[in-house]
Chain A
Amino acid sequence: MGHHHGPKEKPSLKVNRRHFFSQLSVGIGSLALGSLLIPDLFKGPSKEVAAKALGVPHFAPKAKRIIYLFQAGAPSQLETFDHKPTLRKRMGEDLPESIRNGQRLTGMTANQNKFPLMPPKVGFQQHGQSGTWISDFFPYTAKIADEITVIRSMHTEAINHDPAITFFQTGSQISGRPCMGSWLSYGLGSENKNLPSFVVLTSRGKGNSQGLYAKLWSSGFLDSKHQGVLLRSGKDPVLYLNDPEGLSRSDKRHLLDHVSSLNKMHHVETGDDEIESRIAQYEMAYRMQMSVPDVMDISKEPESIIKLYGEDCQVPGTYAANALQARRLAENGVRFIQLYHQGWDQHGNLPNEMAGQAKDVDQASAALVLDLKQRGMLEDTLVVWGGEFGRGNYCQGKFDPNNYGRDHHPRAFSIWMAGGGIKPGLNYGQTDEFGYNVVENPVHINDFHATLMHSMGLDHENLIYKYQGRRFRLTDVAGHVVKDILA
């Protein structure tokens, strides 16, 4: 026998447990106060007020959006921006213990009995008025030396890819927290309602790669509408976005309207906010059916732009194509555009692999900065280029100055930033002569996050989300804005 349903309860009494508890504390307060002062207050916690305070910067921002060119796998600072002649002078000598100073190593080199110092095979030159040292792997980046700020004093705690990249994305080495892009979407809202405010584009070089997972664009405990949307190359940038054949747009509209009215009824019954999110996402997807193909279509880009980014930008799925796409997304008001280029994990065969990786990204990264600049978008778009940690200054594996590898290194690495209220042509922070330890102006990942949020008009100490009884921030309990690099 099936269940016998009792007489139908009144919908308004159907409050589920989660809803009940989340409203309870406020409910009691407003019961006491509200009934005395403002009868309307009793109708519910001032949710609307909270929602409005969100979605607006805390103070006038310098940057309205971020394009983060993430070099997954961790490019070596010693072959990119940190020029250390000492390594050549002392080539083959063992890394002094006074420098290593107990640094834990990964399982890949922890068992090496020698740590011979290895100089970069590639040459270094100073470029621009700023005299920024840039390796010969990056001839195009060298042309924008005066537009970028190179930070050579980044440091992290993680020594393996997954925790390190998770740390960079979420401010914690352990998975589960919201990503930077989600925090910004949560704090600032969307600039264009027809596109997600957090978009991810991935590409892969020929170098040794590490995996990328959807958790790197997850919204964690924040509302799921803040999660990053991966735009794929090819026919369907967003999977399952397009309607099946034979369904017209007006039919789709009718369908959505009916589903939405059913969902709204359900929301009245249960009061679950995720239902509202779901309705909003259906609507967003409907608008994205129009907006995404439009923004992904580069056929109208003039030849001069194609050549600027390199011919490869016409090949979907390349870094160059993604860089051009990033500009188009930025133009269309996407807040946080995250590019990943895989293949920077050079434990061996470093000179060859890095040359290839650099070729993938060099021209397009520099072209993106130039293109943004001429469009006046460097004024309010912050571009970041960098990986999850640095690489060791000693040789991994067989000692061969022409074909060596470098293991992971958390204590010092280099990144660059451009635009969005960051000083152009600055060299910030220094490492010791071995390129191993930071000796001046260290920038921790928490500081980096605090600075990014500051550029976007957010006080990192005041963007807080309470979850399971604890208050969370992107910078958790740390982080200082690096004011010296702000223009």
Chain B
Amino acid sequence: MVNTQSSKWTDYVVFGLSVFLIFCLLFESFLELPVLVAWIGRWHPLLLHFPIVLLLIAIFLSLTGRNVPPNLLLVGVLSALLTAISGFFLGKEAGTRGDLLFWHKWLGSALALLAVLWYWAKSTGWHNPVFAKGIPLAITGLVFFTGHYGGMVTHGEDFLTLPTGKAPMEIPENPLVYAHIVQPILEQNCVQCHNPNKQKGGLLMTGLPGLRKGGEKGNTLIPGQPEASEMIRRLHLPVEDEEHMPPEGERPLQDNEIRILERWIALGASDTLRMDHLEPSEPLAKLIQDLMVPDPMQNWETLPKVVDSTLLRLSSDYLTLTRMANATNALKVNVYMPPKYDAQMVLDLIPIQKNIVELDLSGLPIGQKEMAFTANCPNLEWLEVDRTPISDVEMDTLGHLEKVRFLKVFETRIGDASLTLFRDWKDLKRLYIWDTQVSPQVLEEFKLERPEVLIENGINNEVRSFFIASDSIPKN
């Protein structure tokens, strides 16, 4: 009879804990937790695993028509109650709560109490076929949803969203420093723990008001004083330091991200500051510019794969073929004048044409064949054909090389027709065109039409005459 006695005793515990849980839920706003009780709340993340496993095993046995060992169910129910109560304490500690915590609390409590109901029904032998299936199914649903909400509280709302290939954030032309630059950095690194649902240290980082209000000490952000701002201080601590943010195990902020936050705070942490308000010498301007320039490596990700043995095979003493950087399929080609030049050495590169982003043919006796080859390099960004015999005719073969940013054509015979051609190269940024047959008028027109293109038309006359006027070096 030891068995019945002990089961009676445990029933009282289950009953008592249930009452306590209901009491907590009803009188939540009147409760003030002693420190020790709050500490018990910290055990919630450990305890919660037991009810999930134990109850799911019990449910599985029950639904497959097997016998549910009474002790298994008892321990499951007890752990569910303890988890709910400790979770309640932990939630109390969090201060302000959001929707996620609200749902987690009520679903979790419902789960514990429903488990108690099931335990009671089983132990009293009360049997109703609908309930016998319904309760376990309801508990399963509750386990899933409670767990999901709890997970979102801990790991952030988008923890389970499918990775979307991390689309690079679009920064508009003249970005607002706070909205387009600073807040996205915070979103990526801080908001996971400092949001309405999980306001660690009492700090809310989802918006400027929360940052200004600060955490427990209120000194998170002091406009104009990055050194005095707690968030900057913590970013700079060694990673091993307890107070370093983000905490151990999370990706630390990159140097440029920290500098952006610093400079933004130094400039007053305003949300109306725009890129064009910044002095050119202000480091923040440069930092933001860097963010806005797309990483070339990213552009090259879509290039077809090329293996090293191909590069070795196509290289020769006079043709250097290398990757732009490790782990990219973008290629750079430098051709040097061999004792006997033959266009074939360039044409041999046809199989890897799509991979060529930089092509240096300067100083070679190139002609129509090489230009036709070049025209078929769709990803070309950098082209050097200076000091070659090409003229407008060969240039015309190129047609539209849309991606070319950098073009060297100085010391060639190209003329106005070529310049008209370059007008449509929409990515063109630099043009080295001195010592060609381009007429000054057409060049002026080009400058008006494409003011963003930096044109190098030889050394400025005033400077040149300064250098040439006096030969100051005394002869020995």
Contacts and interface: CB of A to CB of B under 8 A. Distances in A.
A370 B459 contact: yes
Contacts of B406: 376, 379
Interface in A425-476: 457
B318 interface: yes
B296 interface: yes
Contact of A376 (B334, B456, B463): B456
A308 B464 contact: yes
A307 B463 CA distance: 12
A484 B362 CA distance: 33
Interface in B335-375: 336, 339, 362-363
B258 to A, nearest CB: 12
B432 A375 contact: yes
Given A52-B308, A194-B336, A379-B406, A307 B318 contact: no
Interface residues of A, number: 47
Contacts, number: 112
A484 B278 CA distance: 16
B467 A307 contact: yes
Interface stretch (A83-91, A185-193, A269-277): A185-193
B474 A359 contact: yes
B388 interface: no
Contacts of A483: 255-256
B88 interface: no
B36 interface: no
Nearest to A319: B473
A359 B432 contact: no
A192 B336 contact: yes
A290 interface: yes
Contact of A193 (B317, B323, B384): B317
Interface string A159-190: 00000000000000000000000000000011
B410 A374 contact: yes
Interface string B313-346: 0000110101111101000001010010000000
Contact of A312 (B256, B463, B473): B473
Interface string B458-476: 1100011011100111111
B426 to A, nearest CB: 20
A59 B320 contact: no
B472 A363 contact: yes
B430 interface: yes
A143 B460 CA distance: 11
Q: Which of B283, B430, B456 has most chain A Cβ within 10 Å? A: B456
B141 to A, nearest CB: 47
A374 B458 contact: yes
Given A308-B467, A374-B410, A359 B320 contact: no
A107 to B, nearest CB: 33
A363 B472 CA distance: 8
B61 interface: no
Nearest to B339: A290
A194 B334 CA distance: 12
Interface string A300-314: 000010011011100
Contacts of A370: 459, 463, 467
Contact of B318 (A57, A194, A373): A194
Interface string A374-404: 1110010000000000000000000000000
Contacts of B317: 193-194, 287
A256 interface: no
Given A56-B325, A376-B406, A484-B283, A192 B473 contact: no
A92 B386 CA distance: 57
Contacts of B256: 483
A55 B464 CA distance: 39
Contact of B325 (A58, A312, A359, A367): A58
A107 B315 CA distance: 56
Contacts of B324: 57, 60
Contacts of A191: 320, 334
A362 B339 CA distance: 37
A412 to B, nearest CB: 22
B325 A379 contact: no
Nearest to B471: A311
Interface in A339-362: 359-360, 362
Contact of B468 (A58, A61, A307, A312): A307
Given A191-B320, A375-B432, 7 more contacts: A191-B334, A308-B467, A312-B475, A359-B472, A374-B459, A457-B325, A484-B283
17 contacts: A53-B326, A59-B325, A61-B325, A191-B334, A310-B467, A315-B475, A331-B362, A333-B320, A333-B336, A359-B472, A360-B473, A362-B472, A366-B467, A375-B408, A375-B410, A376-B384, A376-B456
Interface of A: 52-53, 55-61, 140, 143, 189-194, 287, 290, 304, 307-308, 310-312, 315, 318, 320, 331-333, 359-360, 362-363, 366-367, 370-371, 373-376, 379, 457, 483-484
Interface of B: 255-256, 283, 286, 295-297, 308, 317-318, 320, 322-326, 328, 334, 336, 339, 362-363, 384, 386, 406, 408, 410, 430, 432, 434, 456, 458-459, 463-464, 466-468, 471-476
Question: What 8 A-B pairs have minimum CB-CB distances, sorted nearest first?
Answer: A376-B432, A312-B473, A307-B468, A57-B325, A60-B296, A311-B471, A376-B408, A310-B473
